[in-house]
Amino acid sequence: MADKGKQTIQEEAIDKKLDKNLLKRLLSYFKPYKKYIILATLLTITVSALAAVRPYLTPIAIDDKIMNNDIPGLQFIIIILLSTLIVQGIVQYGLGFLTAWIGQKIIYDLRKKIHSHIIKLDLKFFDRNPIGRLVTRATSDVEVLYEVFSSGIVTAFGDIFTLIWIVTFMFILDWQHALVTLSILPVLIYATSIFRNKVRESYRRIRILIAKINSYIQEHITGISIVQLFNKENKTVEEFEKINRQHTEQNKKSIFYYAVFFPFVELIGAISVGLIIWYGGGQTVQGAIEIGVLISFIQYTEMFFRPIRDLSEKYNILQTAMASSERIFEILDQTSPVKDSEHPVQINNFKGKVEFKNVTFGYSIDNPVLKNINLTIQPGEKVAFVGATGSGKSTIISLIERFYDVDEGEIRIDGINIKQLEQNRLRKHLATVLQEVYLFSGTIKSNITLGDESITDEEINKAIDNVGLKPFINSLPLGINHPVNERGTTLSTGQKQLISFARALVYNPELLMLDEATSSVDTHTEILIQNAINKLIENRTSIIIAHRLSTIQKCDKIIVMHKGEIKEAGTHQELLSLGGLYYKLYELQYKNEEV
């Protein structure tokens, strides 16, 4: 709960100002493309200079050439103006292409890093983080950063240099008129500051609400069968409408701020032009300045406020990017407590002996699921775990797979503490069939091999045959290449279970674990799987978790779990003769039969 509370605080920290360290870390992604960034910056400076030089040529064309009837000179100025336009267009095209390319490359790198980092995190991380939120981080939040990486920062430099060029040329032409033009600047700076603060808060709230929308949609589409079964469609629509309305209202606020600010900038620009016409016009009438200089200042004034407006917008884009990058880096900074040893031990001949020594474990510190577990499973032994829901049976498997690390004690495989084994190498010797089967979009073959090209069709067909899946596969026109939708929605529960079973068997594991593997199938399919189990667990260490006691009666050992503790252990007959918990479970399932 502490983690969740901390996470909520971070999600709602909408008033946090621009973090220099965060910005520095964000800009570090430019390093691999440093040469291209420098080139883009040079092109930006060139474009801004070409744009600013044209009004500077205006007094030369009007006062020097037109007034003096210098037609050849005027033609030369026109050629220069056209040349600057053509060169600016070409450079701007190259700049746009280059910045977009840089942005896409950086986004590709960042999204790849996020994905590879997320899939390596421990299951505790996924226990406390909604999937929709993680999807938002890897998609929407990354896309927000594209604006910064592709054009935001580089073009911001362009706007700054444009302002520098404009101010420089204005002071070169006439410093008094330049001061008149800039006299209204303090008002604009104040207005920009207010606008920036308002939009920053609005953008941060929008990002939070987008994450909530994604989480809500993902959760309710995944559980659509429950929503429809209990007639909760209207209730779900109402709940979503509340979140969606909040998102819309925040966007409307953001639009309102832009709708006020941009016309205000235009108004300030118009006032500035009015001041120039009023002051400069009087100076022109008195002969203090020439008409060409006045027209040039009007052009510069109109140009001056556009980059200021653009800089305000880019600053807000940067603020939005800061909010997104803060959440992205929060994920990238997550470290898995389940880590490989710096000096891992290799198992050259995996036999499959499993030992639990004084193991205590809980998904939260104050609520242990397993309490002081001690047990030994010999190589080739078939051991079943039974007990009420929540007694800790599935946790046993999760700990062997090292999805979590124990809080106290140790787990040994072939006499070696599993913390000393590399996770990848350990799991190569294990295979698990879960009650809740997950199939990926692709084909039946790809769901069995999971992309391992070293597995041959012969091995696949052998696994399919062993689990009794062959008649179903033969009935399909494309056989093992039959397409599968996400989560296997077009397949029955029993068919998905059999595919999952074949997936485990094709890897020929030394340690096979079945977690309620037959609980979701019909009697006929259960018989097929049970026959396959009986063949496959020979000479293989096997751990079976089952509610149906009929499937485990032939196991070498049955362990009865209750509230995280081992209460009974023995064979089927031994446990029945004790008349304890196992006897009661058996009696509940077969109360109409003779014990």
What are the DSSP calls for 501-547, one per residue? HHHHHTT--SEEEEESTTTTS-HHHHHHHHHHHHHHTTTSEEEEE-S
Calpha distance 127→122 (Å, rounded): 9
- Once rounded to an integer, what is the mean pLDDT over residues 283-293? 71
Within 333-401, residue ranges assigned H as helices are: 393-400
Among candidates 308, 310, 309, 289, which has minimal Cα distance to 58?
Answer: 289
- Residue extents of the structural domains in the chain: 18-332, 343-429+549-595
Q: pLDDT value at position 319?
A: 73
Q: pLDDT value at position 288?
A: 63
Q: Is 437 helix (H, G, I), strand (E, B) or coil?
A: coil
Q: Is the pLDDT of residue 65 over 80?
A: no
CA 268 centroid distance within chain: 42
Among candidates 515, 348, 514, 367, which has minimal Cα distance to 415?
Answer: 348
Q: pLDDT tens digit string along 110-153?
A: 888 988 888 888 888 887 777 777 887 888 788 878 877 776 77
Q: Are 31 and 24 in contact (CB under 8 A)?
A: no
Q: CB under 8 Å, gap of 24 or more: what pairs does 35-38 form?
A: 36/98, 36/101, 36/102, 37/102, 37/154
Q: pLDDT value at position 374?
A: 93
CA 44 centroid distance within chain: 32
* DSSP code, position 455: S
Calpha distance 225→227 (Å, rounded): 5
What separation, in Å, do the N-terminal and C-terminal C-alpha atoms of the chain show? 46
Q: How far is CA 332 from CA 25, 117, 134, 254, 403, in A?
A: 12, 7, 11, 29, 19
Calpha distance 370→91 (Å, rounded): 67
Weakest-pLDDT range from 329-333, 427-431, 531-535: 531-535
Q: Are 268 and 225 in contact (CB under 8 A)?
A: no
Q: Is the pLDDT of residue 289 over 80?
A: no
Q: pLDDT value at position 409?
A: 93
Weakest-pLDDT range from 53-67, 394-408, 568-582: 53-67
DSSP 24-57: HHHHGGGGGGHHHHHHHHHHHHHHHHHHHHHHHH
**Parallel, antiparallel or unpaired: strands 483-484 and 511-515:** unpaired
Is pLDDT larger for residue 218 or for residue 98? 98
pTM of model > 0.85: no
Calpha distance 183→164 (Å, rounded): 16
% of the chain surpassing 90 pLDDT: 8
Q: pLDDT value at position 26?
A: 80
- Find the helix or strand (DSSP H, E) in which 66 lies: none
Q: pLDDT tens digit string along 247-265?
A: 888 888 888 887 888 788 7
Q: Are 397 and 543 in contact (CB under 8 A)?
A: yes
Q: Is the pLDDT of residue 19 over 70?
A: no
Q: pLDDT value at position 522?
A: 65
Is pLDDT larger for residue 199 or for residue 88? 88
* CATH ID of 18-332, from 1.20.140.10, 1.20.1560.10, 3.40.50.620, 3.30.470.10: 1.20.1560.10
Calpha distance 339→196 (Å, rounded): 44
Q: Is the pLDDT of residue 359 over 90?
A: yes
Among candidates 371, 342, 341, 375, which has minimal Cα distance to 356?
Answer: 375
Q: Is the pLDDT of residue 526 over 80?
A: no
Task: Show the CA angle centred on residue 128, arms to residues 125 and 129, nearest 5°.
Answer: 80
Tokens, residue 198: 């308002």
Q: Kindly tell me the burial class for residue 287, based on how many C-beta atoms sit within 10 Å of its own C-beta (0-12, 13-18, 19 or more).
A: exposed
Q: pLDDT value at position 287?
A: 65
The reply to whether 343-429+549-595 shares the fold of 18-332 is no
Calpha distance 442→296 (Å, rounded): 65
Q: What is the CATH number of domain 343-429+549-595?
A: 3.40.50.300
In the structure, what pLDDT confidence band is assigned to residue 553 with cuts at 50, 70 and 90?
Answer: confident
Q: pLDDT value at position 15?
A: 45
Q: Are 380 and 394 in contact (CB under 8 A)?
A: no
Tokens, residue 415: 């006499």
**Cα dihedral sign, 351-354-355-359:** positive
Q: pLDDT value at position 2?
A: 39
Q: Is 414 helix (H, G, I), strand (E, B) or coil?
A: coil
Q: pLDDT value at position 521?
A: 60
* DSSP code, position 368: -
Q: Are 341 and 424 in contact (CB under 8 A)?
A: no
Residue 100 CB coordination number (10 Å): 14
Q: pLDDT value at position 559?
A: 93
Q: Is the pLDDT of residue 13 over 50?
A: no
In the structure, what pLDDT confidence band is assigned to residue 24 with cuts at 50, 70 and 90?
Answer: confident
Q: Is the pLDDT of residue 187 over 80?
A: yes
